[in-house]
Amino acid sequence: MSAAQPAIRRSALQTAIRRAGQALAGSQAQAGYWWADLTADSTLESDYLLMLLWLHPPRNGVWSPPEPGKVARAVASILARQNEDGGFSIYPQGPSEISASVKAYFALKLAGIPVTDPRLERLRDRILALGGIQATNSYVKLNLGLFGLYPREHTPTVPPEIMLLGRLIYEVSSWTRAIVIPLAIVHSLNPRRPVPAGFTLDELWKPGVSPAPRWNPKLVSWRNFFLCADRLLKWWERHGSRPLRSHAIRKAEAWMLERTQHSDGLGAIYPPMQYIIFAMDALGYAPDNPHRVEAVRQFLRLMVDDERGLFFQPCFSVVWDTAIAAFALGEAGVATEEQLARCGTWLLSKEVRRPGDWMVKRPRLEPSGWYFEFANEFYPDIDDTAMVLLGLRHARAHDQPAQLAAEKRAVAWLLGMQSGDGGWAAFDADNNHQFLSHVPFADHNAMLDPTCPDITGRVIEALAASGVPKSHPAIRRGVEYLLRTQQPDGSWFGRWGVNYVYGTFLALRGLRAAGYDDREAEVLRAGEWLRSIQNADGGWGESCASYDEGCYVQAPSTASQTAWAVLGLLAGGDTTSQSVHRGQAYLTATQRQDGQWDEDLATGTGFPRVFYLTYHMYRNAFPLLALAEYSRLAAANEEGL
């Protein structure tokens, strides 16, 4: 190798870092934050049309929705994602999935596409091949049941009386309670909404398949227990105490309204923001009621309708995007001091200082932490708080004493939110009663909020970066948790990113921050696993199907997953292997001239096996972070450059 070659490689790497940094820094809002699109599958647009039918029922059997142009653009958005086999997937390039397909069929037929249209014919055939409408998840059945399109007796009961059972509602995940409580109001009031004259979904029923939920062949099981309980609840709906039900509904209503305060809508995420509109309507709130007007306004803010088409974001990822961008830019040293100061000042304005649902389990903790969106005061989350603390290592706010005080509070909050098993979850502590996953309406695969390696690794890194000693009991327990949850092949499961590549990179960063020796077997096995799954082009990719298979499933290389793998290898002490060099070369070679990267696949996770996310910030921020760290760690080894 000539002496000039390392210098050329180093020059190309520095050019890539500079271009990436300029592109990312240049997208900062004047207020100091970064905010990119967050997109998902076609179910959001399909549910939008269902909501329009709810709010604007047919007259004389004819449905005339307001703003028909938006309906047409929503239809175009749905159809743009139809698979060749006629169905709809829940992640880009994924197989057709039954619930997404039935939702799309309902929306397209409702919007006026005739059943003889070849697109609907192919979709119908695919739905029947996937098991028919009977095979959809409980939320599809509940939604269709509101319009008499699925038998109510075969949909799960969602009783508002759950509000009277002490803290039981806080034993399910924060997003589940935000969905279930307004849905319980709607379900209990049992409104029968009309559909256009002659509108049915009869053609989606698979012959010979019962619409009733399936019992577990094993007689004694939690599944069968809850199905028996569901029968009792259905009896209670017919014969139970009306005053008690009315009391439960009022309590659910008060809970729901309280959590719209200081928030971008209930839970600040799409499903509860839609269900609260249904609940207010069912409760008799007039269209001009201020609570209802605000709920509709917040929901419609999720809509993007521009030259790219019409689509909905499931929520706003602005605090998350900002923290990641600040950390990447700070590590790369490519943002100005004033840019980072404005960022730090904006982040300080988003610190939570009010009690939230998390206080049910941790009543003595002082409120702190950060949420995901522009406003969601009841639900600061552990992952965002850790990422913000990392971003604040570089984003020094204009008011330094205020920043130091906020960081101190946030560290104490993170320490207090550690679960009993040593790990950290997303929103709650010790939210892990597995038997609740068998409740009939729990098939969104996210009934609980258990601890996970990806968040645990990031929290350990953030605590260590914030000055918590490596010998601190919380960090030691976190390390023990990571070692205990490592997969036999050396990887770690990733709950909030796809999937084992994400979990492994964050677990390794946590172990490094905790001072765990990179020559230990667990770290060596993880590095070997990452190297073993590298694609031929030098990058890394993992399919969302890995959640279905319970192991890594290869996919085309993506910028974000390649960056995660490189960061994981570097955290494991690998700065010289061909794998890490080829990963860096892949990122450098695939960078666009404008400093950004292309990425079409979903690498974020909402609910495993149910709902996936494409974070449009990931493709630019994580490669910048990986290249910057690679450059720094490999600087002493010019031959590697």
Residue 125: domain span: 43-312
Give pLDDT, residue 442. Answer: 79
Nearest-angstrom CA–CA distance, 531 and 554: 13
As a whole number, mean pLDDT of residues 31-56 equals: 97
Same domain, yes or no: 185 and 327: no
* Mean pLDDT, range 548-562, rounded to an integer: 98
What percent of the chain shows pLDDT beyond 90? 91
Residue burial 135-156, b: 16+ Cβ < 10 Å; e: rest: bbbbbbbbbbbbbebbebeebb
Q: Which two tokens stand for residue 583?
A: 């990963």
Final residue of a structural domain among 312, 334, 369: 312
My answer on whether 57 and 13 are in the same domain is no
Instruction: Tokens for 580, please give them.
Output: 């890490």
pLDDT at 634: 78
Rounded to whole angstroms, how far apart are CA atoms 475 and 463?
Answer: 8
Confidence of residue 3 (pLDDT cuts 50, 70, 90): very low
The CATH number given to whatever domain includes residue 265 is: 1.50.10.20
57 in any annotated domain: yes
User: Is residue 444 predicted with pLDDT exceeding 90?
Assistant: no
Does 181 lie in the same domain as 157? yes
**Tell me, what's the pLDDT at 419?**
98
Of 493, 584, 574, 490, the closest CA to residue 533 belongs to 490
How far apart, in whole angstroms, are the C-alpha atoms of residue 436 and residue 631? 47
Q: Classify the C-alpha dihedral 394-400-404-410 as positive or negative.
A: negative
Q: Is the pLDDT of residue 636 over 90?
A: no
What b/e readout covers 323-340, taking b as 16+ CB neighbours within 10 angstroms? bbbbbbbbbbebbeeebb
Answer whether 596's CB lies under 8 Å from 621's CB: no
Average pLDDT across the chain, whole number? 95
CA dihedral 157, 163, 168, 171 (to 10 degrees): 80
Beta strands in 383-524 (DSSP E): none
For residue 11, the model assigns a pLDDT of 85
C-alpha closest to that of 535 among 554, 549, 514, 516? 554
> Could you say which of 312, 328, 347 is where a domain stops?
312
Q: Answer yes or no: do 497 and 612 share one domain.
A: yes
Whether pTM > 0.75 for this model: the answer is yes
Is 424 a member of any domain? Answer: no
Residues 494 and 633 in one domain: yes
Residue-level pLDDT at 190: 79
C-alpha 158/C-alpha 252 separation (Å) is 12
DSSP state of 264: S
Q: What is the mean pLDDT of residues 39-48?
A: 98
CA distance 354 to 376: 11
Neighbours of 171 (CB within 10 A): 21
Whole-number percent of the chain with pLDDT over 70: 98
Residues 6+ apart with CB under 8 A from 258: none
- Whether 20 and 95 map to the same domain: the answer is no
Comparing 75-89, 431-445, 571-585, the range with the smallest average pLDDT is 431-445
- CB count within 10 Å of CB 503 equals 30
Residue 442 lies in a domain: no
> Over 90: is that where the pLDDT of 82 sits?
yes
Q: How confident is the model at residue 308 (pLDDT cuts 50, 70, 90)?
A: very high
Asked if the model's pLDDT at residue 191 lies above 80, the reply is: no
Question: pLDDT higher for 215 or 85?
Answer: 85
Residue that wins the pLDDT comparison between 6 and 325 = 325
Query: Average pLDDT for residues 44-53, to the nearest whole number?
Result: 98
Of the pLDDT bands very low, low, confident and very high (cuts 50, 70, 90), residue 285 is very high
Q: What does the pLDDT look like over 363-383, one tens digit per residue?
A: 999 999 999 999 999 999 999
Q: Is residue 332 part of a domain?
A: yes
Tens of pLDDT along 455-472?
999 999 999 999 999 999
The number of domains in the chain is: 2
pLDDT band at residue 273 under the 50/70/90 scheme: very high
User: Is the pLDDT reported for residue 1 higher than 70?
Assistant: no
Asked if residues 617 and 321 have their Cβ atoms less than 8 Å apart, the reply is yes
What is the distance between the alpha carbons of residues 523 and 505, in angstroms, rounded to a whole number? 11
Whether 9 and 101 map to the same domain: the answer is no
Is 592 a domain residue?
A: yes
| 263 shares its domain with 359 | no
User: What value does the mean pLDDT take over residues 528-554?
Assistant: 98
pLDDT value of residue 2 = 43
Lowest mean pLDDT among 427-431, 552-556, 632-636: 632-636
| Residues 127 and 98 sit within 8 Å (Cβ to Cβ) | yes
One domain, residues 516 and 629? yes
Sign of the dihedral through C-alpha 46, 48, 49, 55: positive
Q: HSE, CB side, 13 Å, CA atoms: give it for residue 30.
A: 0
290 and 324 share one domain: no
Catalytic residues: 383
Residue 431 lies in a domain: no
| Domain end call among 255, 290, 312 | 312
483 assigned to some structural domain? yes
Segment 81-95 mean pLDDT: 98
User: CA angle, corner 31, sides to 25 and 37, nearest 5?
Assistant: 60
- 298 within some domain: yes
Residue 8: its pLDDT value, please? 57
Looking at the fold, whether 220 and 369 belong to one and the same domain comes out as no
User: Does one domain contain both 121 and 167?
Assistant: yes
Mean pLDDT of 588-605: 97
pLDDT at 299: 98
In sequence order, the 6+-apart residues with CB closer than 8 A to the CB of 290 are none
What pLDDT, in 10s, does the model give residues 478-521?
Answer: 999 999 999 999 999 999 999 999 999 999 999 999 999 999 99
Q: What is the distance between the terminal CA atoms of the chain, rounded to a whole angstrom?
A: 11
